[in-house]
């Protein structure tokens, strides 16, 4: 039987963060099988069966969608037939231990083999065997991995033309380091580590069995390959040694929360891939703030969020600027225009920033939007936002009105192409259109957008439209 991923929300990318079971494990109904990650949250997926895991179909790091198979299992017999569960667990543990020992015993000492060859006549025989082993593994890959096979074939051919003895020496050095670090890798992965002269300690990803396989090596190479050729670029982040700080005093290390870990990668990727442009404006919001106070007074039993007014205004502005509501697909060189407008709102939680989505706010009242904002915030802080509640935004609003910061440059929440930052409104002295001094309630606006799709003029006009609508909201918002 197969266990399928339940409904998790179709609008967001989901990856497997951790697999909590392995083949041979006994599982009970409700036990967590895996941890899934979206851009802004993590969620445990529990079993809906009692039984034994017979085959794992996905690995940590794989993308997965609802309805997709995660693993195969053998359902448990009726209670009358499963009275010796503990003895079964002992048996499984012993079988695994025996298997692990057999793997260790059967594994050849590649370092000795290769170094022995080096002492011979150029290392041809052993090197050819190594290449054949890799080619055999490549040819056994499924059709879905044809691209992977074709990607490395030229590299194998290149190596055959090089000094084989020198490569065998390098291979021996790499194998020695793998053994010293207790890093396990497939034959093809070891070959690629040699080919591209990679420090194996830099490869952090592993399969569910704790090894570096061909796909992990390929992904690492593609990510770190320099543009100039086949040299591997330095990893973007290297560990910071304690000695960098301890000479000045004591330190303490604390693990990042899962949300922080994921958002750090997500934001770094967005910042690196999206050419950001930021623009700033001041909006005089006396009128809309008056509407806010009126709404609170007219319905004192209902909580009203001032952010709801901005959500309503931005949704209206997006109707006039459909490109700001779109997404850009560089793989197909297409713009994806959406016939809906969903506003994502950034929510600060103890574990990090998450984004909740308000669906079609243009058709909601201020009271309905406020209710949704408070509901999303409450769930986010409790870590209970569903994937659906975080997916599908077409534009994002990030408010830091709780601080005195005047302007900032928010990072675009891909696949959105725009994000609006709101700062704390303060009374300021201005000179009005009649050149008379005046005091206005001023809210700073900060707009960031993806310059690949939005040019400067369009970005400026959109921000001006939002400013104008905030200052004259009567045609859009009714209280």
Residue 245, phi then psi, degrees to nearest 5: -120, -30
Which among 224, 286, 287, 451 is annotated as catalytic?
451
Helix, strand or coil, per DSSP, at residue 279: strand
CA 193 to mean position of chain CA atoms: 26
Q: Where are the beta strands (DSSP E) in 172-238?
A: 184-185, 211-212
Q: Are 242 and 252 in contact (CB under 8 A)?
A: no
Q: How far is CA 167 from CA 37, 131, 193, 330, 422, in A?
A: 40, 11, 11, 39, 58
Q: At what angle do helices 214-224 and 146-160 cross, to 10 degrees?
A: 80
User: Which of 400, 416, 424 minimizes the C-alpha distance to 448?
Assistant: 416
Helices (H), 196-274: 214-224, 243-246, 258-273
DSSP 28: -
User: Which of 375, 389, 270, 419 minimizes the C-alpha distance to 12?
Assistant: 389
Q: Are 48 and 428 in contact (CB under 8 A)?
A: no
Residue 318 to residue 320: CA distance in whole angstroms: 5
User: Which of 70, 74, 59, 46 minimizes the C-alpha distance to 18?
Assistant: 59
Which among 11, 202, 242, 455 is annotated as catalytic?
455
β-strand 395-399 against 418-422: which pairing, if any?
parallel
Catalytic site includes residue 455: yes
From first CA to last CA, the distance across the chain in angstroms is 56
Residue 343 to residue 360: CA distance in whole angstroms: 8
Contacts 24+ apart (CB under 8 A), 87-95: 88/26, 88/52, 89/26, 92/24, 92/25, 92/26, 95/24
Q: How many residues appear in the chain?
A: 479
- 108: its two tokens: 């050849």
Q: Are 283 and 445 in contact (CB under 8 A)?
A: yes
Helix, strand or coil, per DSSP, at residue 235: coil
CA 303 to mean position of chain CA atoms: 34
Give catalytic residue positions: 451, 455
């Amino acid at each position: 039987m197969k266990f399928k991923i339940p409904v998790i929300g179709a609008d967001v990318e989901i990856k497997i963060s951790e697999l909590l079971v392995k083949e041979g494990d006994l599982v009970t109904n409700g036990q967590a099988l895996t941890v899934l990650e979206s851009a802004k949250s993590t969620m445990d997926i529990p079993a809906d069966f009692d039984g034994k895991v017979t085959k794992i179909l996905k690995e940590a790091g794989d993308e997965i969608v609802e309805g997709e198979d995660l693993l195969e299992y053998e359902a448990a017999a009726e209670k009358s037939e499963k009275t010796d569960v503990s003895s079964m667990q002992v048996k499984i543990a012993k079988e695994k231990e025996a298997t692990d020992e057999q793997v260790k015993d059967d594994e050849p000492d590649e370092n000795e083999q290769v170094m022995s060859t080096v002492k011979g006549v150029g290392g041809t025989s052993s090197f050819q065997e190594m290449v054949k082993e890799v080619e055999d593994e490549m040819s056994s890959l499924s059709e879905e991995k044809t691209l992977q096979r074709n990607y490395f074939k030229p590299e194998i051919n290149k190596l055959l033309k090089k000094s084989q003895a020198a490569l065998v020496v390098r291979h021996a050095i790499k194998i020695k380091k793998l053994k010293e670090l207790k890093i396990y890798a497939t034959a093809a992965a070891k070959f690629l580590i040699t080919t591209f002269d990679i420090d194996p300690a830099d490869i952090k990803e592993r399969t569910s069995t704790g090894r570096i396989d061909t796909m992990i090596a390929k992904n690492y190479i593609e990510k770190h390959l320099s543009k100039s050729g086949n040299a591997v670029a330095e990893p973007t982040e290297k560990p910071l040694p304690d000695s960098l700080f301890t000479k000045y005093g004591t330190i303490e290390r604390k693990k990042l929360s899962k949300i922080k870990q994921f958002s750090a990668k997500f934001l770094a990727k967005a910042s690196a891939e999206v050419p950001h442009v930021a623009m700033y404006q001041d909006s005089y919001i006396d009128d809309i703030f008056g509407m806010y106070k009126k709404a609170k007074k007219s319905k004192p039993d209902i909580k009203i969020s001032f952010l709801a007014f901005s959500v309503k205004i931005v949704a209206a502005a997006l109707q006039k600027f459909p490109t700001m509501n779109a997404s850009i697909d560089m793989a197909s060189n297409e713009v994806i225009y959406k016939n809906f407008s969903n506003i994502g709102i950034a929510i600060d939680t103890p574990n990090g920033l998450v984004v909740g989505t308000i669906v079609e706010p243009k058709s909601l009242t201020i009271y309905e939007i406020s209710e949704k904002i408070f509901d999303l915030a409450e769930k986010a802080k409790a870590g209970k936002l569903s994937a659906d509640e975080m997916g599908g935004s077409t534009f994002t609003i990030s408010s830091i009105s709780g601080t005195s910061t005047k302007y900032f440059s928010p990072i675009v929440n891909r696949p959105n192409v725009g994000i609006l930052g709101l700062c704390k409104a303060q009374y300021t002295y201005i000179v009005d259109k009649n050149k008379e001094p005046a005091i206005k309630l001023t809210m700073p606006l900060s707009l960031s957008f993806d310059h690949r799709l939005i040019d400067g003029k369009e970005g400026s006009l959109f921000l001006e439209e939002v400013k104008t609508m905030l200052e004259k909201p009567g045609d859009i918002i009714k209280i």
